[in-house]
Copies of this chain bind each other. A is one copy, B any other.
Amino acid sequence: MEIKVYKKEDTYSYSLGAFPTLELLNKHTKDVIDIYVHSSFNNKEVKEKILAKLGRNFKTNDKLIEKLSPKENCYIVGIFRKYQDILDKNENHLLLDNPSNMGNLGTIIRSSLGFGIKNIAIIKPGVDYFDPKTIRASMGSIFNINIQYFSSIDEYKNQFKDHTIYAFMLKATNTLQTFKFKKGFSTLAFGNEATGLSDSYLDNNSIIIKHSNEIDSLNITNAVSIALYEFNRQNN
């Protein structure tokens, strides 16, 4: 198997760096194809952890590591088969309608795990969450999260009829600062970085994070993390 720089249609992807690769090994052991460790890497503890989890020796191929991570000081790469997650019906969800930036998506995945939401729906189109840029920005938290694509919001709604969707949008009349989330399963929904959620999401449960009119909008990763924080605050 020749490992090339990632393309969306590949059946495998890879994690760059020690920390994300250890997360991969911990959570998706059976999907790991190979681990590559740079010949100059000499952290014995990390090497031993890799050996223990992998159950066989890692590989050394400095040229491959440099090819896959051209801009970064990266010493460990984990190659894995892309896998399919299914969202858990009995948990709260985050929903992203057509996210377009891989770095933002990774950062959002990390915040979501940080506030205990481990199921993320992506409405197509939307960036490829298996891209190494997203994995890197998530700092490996992607391996602890279920992510599933849906063709449309209707497909999602049909599968999760018990979930109340809270659509975060500038046109909403409810203000997060005073809003009370209902009991029961919840889905926090956010739109594309540039265009937000379409008007079809607007209903009695839509929410705006009130901010001064001196800015147009909050940065998307900040908005999502604020919503996750507030939801977490009310549920603890």
Contacts and interface: CB of A to CB of B under 8 A. Distances in A.
Given A177-B233, A229-B229, A233-B177, A107 B222 contact: yes
A65 interface: no
Given A229-B226, A230-B229, A113 B221 contact: no
A214 interface: yes
Contacts of A116: 212
A55 to B, nearest CB: 24
Contact of A219 (B211, B214, B225, B226): B225
A187 B142 CA distance: 34
Interface residues of A, number: 31
Interface of A: 107, 110-111, 113-116, 139, 141, 144, 176-177, 209-212, 214-216, 218-219, 221-223, 225-226, 229-230, 232-233, 236
15 contacts: A107-B219, A111-B218, A111-B219, A113-B212, A114-B215, A139-B216, A177-B233, A219-B221, A221-B221, A221-B222, A222-B222, A222-B225, A223-B225, A225-B225, A229-B229
